[in-house]
Amino acid sequence: MTEFLQQIVNGLTLGSLYALIAVGYTVVYGIVQLINFAHGEVFMIGAFGALATWTVLFKGQHGLWVLPIMVLGAVIVSVLTAVVMERIAYRPLRGAPRLAPLITAIGISIFLQEAVRLFYPGAKSKLTFPEIEVVSGTALQVGGLTIQRAAVFTVGALAVSAVLLWFFVNRTRLGQGMQAVSQDPDTAQLMGINVNRIIVIAFALGAALAAVGGVAQGLLNSNIDFRMGFLAGLKAFTAAVLGGIGNIQGAIVGGLTLGIAESMATQFIPGQFGGSAWKDVWAFVLLILVLVFRPQGLLGARVVDRA
Amino acid sequence: MSTSTPDLTHGAGHGDHDDHVTVPLLERFPGRGSAAAWPLGLVGVLLLVGGTFLSWSYTGDVLGDLSINFYPGGVQICMIVLGLVALAFLLAHRGPLSRLGDWLDSAAAVRNLGLGAVAYMAVAIGVIAYESGGLINVNPGGWVSLVGALLLAASGLMLVSRQHKDPLFAKTTSWLEICAIIVLMALVLFGAAYALGIGDGASFVLFLMFVAAAATALAKSGVFTWIGLIAQKNRPVLMLGAFAVAFLFPFTQGGSDENMSIATQVLIFAATALGLNIVVGLAGLLDLGYIAFLGAGAYVGAVLSNSAFATIGWKPPFLVVVLVGAIFSSILGLIIGSPTLRVSGDYLAIVTLAFGEIFRFTMGNLDGNNGPDLTNGPNGVPAIPDLNFFGFDFGQPHNVAGITLGRFANYYFLLLVIAAIIIFVFVRLNNSRIGRGWVAIREDEKAAEAMGVNVFGLKLFAFAGGAFLAGMAGTVKAHHDVSVTPDQYIFLESAFLLAAIVLGGMGTVAGVLVGATILKLLPEKLRFIADYRLLIFGLVLVLMMRFRPEGIIANQRRKLEFHEDDEDLAERIEEVHLEEAEAKA
Amino acid sequence: MAQRSVMTMGASLLVASIALAGCGSRGDSGDSSDSGDTGSSSKVAKIGVIAPLSGDLSALGKGIQHSVELAVKQANDSKAIPGWTLEVEAVDDEGKADVGKNGATKLAGDDQVVGVVGNLNSSVSQQTQPVFAAANITQISPANTGPTLTRGADLNAPARPYKTFFRTCATDIAQGGFAAKFLIDQGIKTVATIHDKKTYGQGLVFHFTEAYKAAGGTVVAAETINPDESNYAPVVSKVAPSKPGAVFYGGEYPQAGPLSKQMKAGGLNVPLMGGDGIYDPKFIELAGSTSNGDLATSVGEPTDATDAGKKFLAEYEAAKYPEPSAAYGGYAYDAANAIIEALKVSLKDAADAKSARQATVDAVGKVSFDGVTGKVSFDEYGDTTVKVISGYKVEGGKWTFVKSENVG
């Protein structure tokens, strides 16, 4: 039983991370029907943004108070990257055949990884992420369960982000505009909504959450490297599809489900095909199964026609 | 000769009958149309070529030896060729070859040649100055040629096009067309052999600039349109010629393995990309995990080989292995293809990407620790012996007609056969009922289904067929590479394959071959950018999608998809089709 | 009439093709004259270096490269081989098998290469061995500890697979045995093993486990990780319930550092122990402040513990290379000197470098001299005859030497 609960804790941690990234896929897809394949790189750049903020401003400091500023630095770098990316690469391709933006996304993804590898000092190998008091260090023991301090941060960050996101989407003009555009961009435009602006905001929103995820990953793993975005991005996309792409609640539910499923697979699939070596395989098998048998995802997708 | 060619209004050049045609930026040059343009061009050619016979560099160790008067080196000879081609176009514009000028846009050609020559000379002088420490080391010859290039460019910018016939409708006799194809093939062979022989990066870049300048000039002038036409008319000759060139290539290498190793890698890569081209280019199904099929073939080749690390006791002859590998691969293709019934578009791309990752993880896991011992895990299967066909050992050099052919040359010939099979299958499929079905699915799946096309069957067949070809190439790759490891089959490799297709031109054979060559050859030759290779690669993908999504060598029908508002193009394609239909009737 | 104009165009293409042909011939003749020039003054033989010069393990690879450069520079300065100049040709293997094999092919294709120092990773050497063997090029690894490389796939019936492969460091049989004893000496009787499934990690854990059980210890859990993974929480949770006294990790520091940190953050507060692959300052950097008490073994005595080693470090320092000599610098230096010793014999009467390859292989098997890591000589498998292993412990953010032993 302890093992089971322990894996739930691990799964929730991992799942929160996936959910933070998955929101970015889902928001953008809901509005422009584009799989922003480079979103994983935005997440990676967020982590490097946080590290850079710490290295430049607070090197040697480990107090909790630097964390909000690191997060802010991460968010700024990620949002800038995403907005520039949208403006330069994606916007001119709106209306082009589907293949074009997807290949562009792969191009951006490779470009961003390489840019970080080549131009961030020392990024050719793993970089140590700073230890911050309270959120890193020895684990907490709660009734036989071990809880990483960084896990508390990750789950908390997701909870706060989700509340803010809900508020933004449902209670602000911009958020309602976003909903309108995702339902019918042409009509929304006729109603006086600036669609281009909404799209930029969707990219920025996703990037901000991914940046928070980047900081969480840095704290969890205690190191970051330029490759971290690829697999994380792919998993987060899986999570978005699992929950129903285009559906924001879906992304969060999907992320948590995927995280827990992965942890359970590590612990409870018996024999040689269990264990951490196969958890990624099981995650992708899950993706394929969902796409084949329930392509609209757990909570239903906003976008019905996916031709 | 028929004179019934219609006087085509749309081929008539720039704005001589339509006032609000926008003039491209390049052609807004002061003094445009002036009578001085033509003689200026002649002077330019004279100086450009004359300069090459003088010394360019004070030191003799830059760009090969350019310091000797009246003995031009390779870098200089390229400029002589460029000058002569420019001369031909100038004479076609006005003078003895002016009949040719009726068909070709000689002004555009001269313009591109001139600008290309300026860029070439600028880089050459820059390299000389940089490597020997200062502009002082550039000898007068270099400056003379630079002035010549500038004059030529100015002349090209001032010339006004006078072409009034579309080269698509040029009627030429077949012996001439065949000669042209042979000359073209010979050019390709010499060009490839020469380019591969260049040792230093700067000379190689200059040679590329030369080829690019010449190619854009010929393309702009319309020569390539004509060549495309005759290539279509004389397809068997072209194919034969291309294979003859490919076959002769190892004999130009004098037994050196270095370039042959690159050439075999290009072939493996191209063969796989051609398989992917069936899936992506013809059927329009985006596959981001295609490298897994090559990997599946390679793993089959490895575990059924005589390697001491092979885990399966069965050691069948190689031809059986090829078949097993190809079939295994196509079964995987069927498995991954079956979800296509339900998902399409972007989702399919992600499913295939996930599949590619599953393959890599699985190969890394089946090592006895985390699964049955089949693949040796991350260490892969090393020490795969060379192939041996009836006593012909692929690992040993052989002498043919006094020329030594090394290990890679042996594999090169085998791969050439496989590439030929794949190209044959590709072309036959493309022109068959199946190929038309794929195109229909690609254009509009629902309409295709309504017209009675078996959508699901054809999609599955595309996956299985493409995978079969890749699996075949994979089994040879295992022996060629000596070892098979999971990290050879990462996502980046799939992206490279896709990029080869996209860069070269989707749905075309030549385009894929060009794309594969560019992607594999350039990093080998441009060692000095090795670290920035991927960065540039990513950037090129983005720029390509933005500015020329149809690829370098575009399938015209495909081109239209990306430029829907280009009515000129649509009309031309239609007319060519009509012509062809008439010719058949 | 169109016909004639096209004919003229064909003719111009023909002219172009002839001119291009001219292009080709000049390029070729230029090449051959180049090599002729260099051949006339002093003959050149190259010693290749193949190691990870970029990527996670580049700290170790760069140290190997510069140490070989130092040895070659000293040999050239002292004119160790009359009539010949030695050069170093360094190739990056990125620590990856595939890249390494391409690099090896490149070195083997260079006619001037007579010997190679490398690789760092056993999994990479496994791929490069056949390439060098086919070309008769001596390969001496300063760091490969995987026993199968010299003794073949079946260790119970050892048979040397490649006559061209040698190594200057002791194997994992020696290291695993020492590590087991070292851990028992520390009073730790239960252990969990984790490895990265690569040749080195898997082999080290295998030999450690054998020796540890024989010495009375218990292995309570055996797990693996994926080398390109960076989140080890799942594996830590899986190991933690079995309450091991330590975790023995087979692999290299880019994974071991974060693993150590995540173990302690995940509630598994026991020392992590590893082999020479984690004995690097970068491990402590990645593992952070909680790495105190972590253990490692490494081959040979600490380089700065012997006079020869001190002299080497001083000379390395004086040559002002941008990176430190790292864990394998001394071994790489000895490996390069072993090749140079052999070349003194094999190049004496050789016409060119390529023809001396076989003689070099034969001569390397017979060398015997005092290097910086001890006596350098090879047994019938190509293994070094000296098998000194040392144990280290992290104390105060630094590796500190605990003890060493000759287990040969």
CA atoms in the 13 A half-sphere facing the CB of C212: 28
Residue A142 dihedral angles phi and psi, to the nearest 5° = -125, 105
> A297: alpha, beta or left, given left = phi > 0 and alpha = psi -120 to 50?
left
Q: Would A265 be classed as within a structural domain?
A: no
* Helix pair angle (C2-41, B74-93), 10° resolution: 170
Q: Which helix (H) or strand (E) holds C319?
A: none
Q: Which residue has the higher pLDDT, A42 or B234?
A: A42
Rounded mean pLDDT, A191-197: 90
Please choose, from the candidates B112, B93, B209, B102, the residue with its C-alpha nearest in 3D space to the C-alpha of residue B156.
Answer: B112
Could you report the per-residue pLDDT of B92-103, keeping only the tens digit for each? Answer: 888 777 777 778
Those residues with Cβ within 8 angstroms of residue A79's Cβ, 6 or more apart along the chain or in another chain: A204, A207, A208, A211
Distance between CA B412 and CA B424 in Å, rounded? 18
Rounded mean pLDDT, A39-63: 93
Q: How high is the mean pLDDT in each 10-residue block of chain B (585 residues)?
A: 40 44 68 81 89 83 76 84 89 80 82 90 87 80 89 87 71 80 84 79 86 87 79 78 84 74 88 90 86 94 84 84 94 84 73 89 83 79 80 78 80 90 87 89 85 88 91 92 84 88 81 85 72 85 84 65 65 65 56
The predicted complex's ipTM stands at: 0.89
- C98:B74 CB<8 A: no
Q: Who among A97, A295, A307 is closest to B562 (CB)?
A: A97
Instruction: Give me the percent of chain B exceeding a pLDDT of 90.
Output: 11
Structure tokens at C113: 């290469």
Q: Who among C56, C197, C237 is closest to A10 (CB)?
A: C237
CB A29 within 8 A of CB A245: yes
Least confident of A32-41, A147-156, B169-178, B482-491: B169-178
For residue A266, list chain C residues with Cβ-Cβ distance below 8 A. Answer: 234-235, 237-238
* Alpha helices (H) along chain A: 2-32, 39-58, 66-85, 99-119, 149-171, 173-183, 185-190, 195-221, 228-243, 248-268, 279-293
Per-residue pLDDT band at C47 (split at 50, 70, 90): very high
DSSP code of residue B484 = B
CA distance C320 to chain A (A): 21
Domain of A70 in residue numbering reads as 19-227
Task: Give the domains, in start order, of chain C with CATH numbers.
Answer: 41-170+303-377 (3.40.50.2300), 172-299+390-406 (3.40.50.2300)
Give the global pTM.
0.82
pLDDT at site B23: 66
Rounded mean pLDDT, C377-399: 88
CA distance B490 to chain A (A): 11
Structure tokens at C408: 């040969």
For A145, the closest chain C residue by CA position comes to C267
Q: Who among A92, A100, A234 is closest to B357 (CB)?
A: A234
Instruction: Give me the percent of chain A exceeding a pLDDT of 90.
Output: 48
For residue B539, list chain A residues with Cβ-Cβ distance below 8 A. Answer: 107, 111
Angle at B368 between CA C209 and CA C127, to 5 degrees: 90
Q: Is C38's pLDDT higher than 50?
A: no
Could you report the per-residue pLDDT of B217-256, keeping only the tens digit for each? Answer: 888 888 877 887 777 777 778 888 888 888 888 888 766 6
Neighbours of chain A (3+ CB pairs under 8 A): B, C
pLDDT at site A273: 78
- B339:A292 CB<8 A: yes
Q: Would A169 be classed as within a structural domain?
A: yes
Distance between CA C329 and CA A30 in Å, rounded? 56
Residue C271, helix vs strand vs coil: coil
Distance between CA C263 and CA C239 in Å, rounded? 10
- A220:C228 CB<8 A: no
Q: Would A7 be classed as within a structural domain?
A: no
pLDDT at site B572: 67
> A137: alpha, beta or left, given left = phi > 0 and alpha = psi -120 to 50?
left
Residue B140, helix vs strand vs coil: helix
For residue A137, list chain C residues with Cβ-Cβ distance below 8 A. Answer: 265, 290
For C283, the closest chain A residue by CA position comes to A128
> How many CB contacts within 8 angstroms connect chain B with chain C?
160
Query: Which of 8-27 (A) contact B at CB < 8 A?
Result: none
Domains in chain A, number:
1
Whole-angstrom CA distances from B560 to B22, B168, B308, B557, B570 are: 21, 17, 54, 5, 7
pLDDT at site B340: 66
Q: Who among B343, B372, B446 is closest to A295 (CB)?
A: B343
For residue B355, list chain A residues with Cβ-Cβ distance below 8 A. Answer: 284, 288
Structure tokens at B62: 């830059």
Q: What is the DSSP string of B65-103?
A: ----TT---HHHHHHHHHHHHHHHHHHHHSSTTHHHHHH
3-state secondary structure B30-50: CCCCCCCHHHHHHHHHHHHHH
For residue C53, list chain A residues with Cβ-Cβ distance below 8 A. Answer: none
Task: Give the domains, in start order, of chain B with CATH numbers.
Answer: 25-245 (no CATH), 253-384+407-554 (1.10.3470)
- A3:C241 CB<8 A: yes
Per-residue pLDDT band at A39 (split at 50, 70, 90): very high
DSSP code of residue B428 = H
Q: Is C35's pLDDT higher than 80?
A: no
Residue C43, helix vs strand vs coil: strand
B357 and chain A: CB distance < 8 Å anywhere?
yes
Of the residues C62, C230, C264, the best mutation for testing chain A's interface (the one with the most A CB atoms within 10 Å of its CB) is: C230
DSSP code of residue A34 = -
Per-residue pLDDT band at C97 (split at 50, 70, 90): confident
B545 and chain A: CB distance < 8 Å anywhere?
yes
Q: Would A198 be classed as within a structural domain?
A: yes
- A125:C254 CB<8 A: yes
- B539:A107 CB<8 A: yes
Residue A156 dihedral angles phi and psi, to the nearest 5° = -60, -45
Q: Would A289 be classed as within a structural domain?
A: no
Query: Which of 95-154 (A) contact C at CB < 8 A?
Result: 124-126, 128, 131, 136-139, 141, 146, 148-150
Query: Which of 57-96 (A) contact C at CB < 8 A?
Result: none
- A102:B286 CB<8 A: yes
CA distance B378 to chain A (A): 12
pLDDT at site A54: 94
CB B343 within 8 A of CB C162: no
Residue A157, helix vs strand vs coil: helix
- As a whole number, the mean pLDDT across chain C is 83
- C20:B80 CB<8 A: no
Residue A224, helix vs strand vs coil: strand
- B183:C17 CB<8 A: yes
pLDDT at site B573: 65
- A107:B346 CB<8 A: no
Could you report the per-residue pLDDT of C184-243, keeping only the tens digit for each? Answer: 988 899 999 999 888 888 889 999 999 999 999 999 998 888 877 888 888 888 888 889
Q: Which residue has the higher pLDDT, A34 or B33?
A: A34
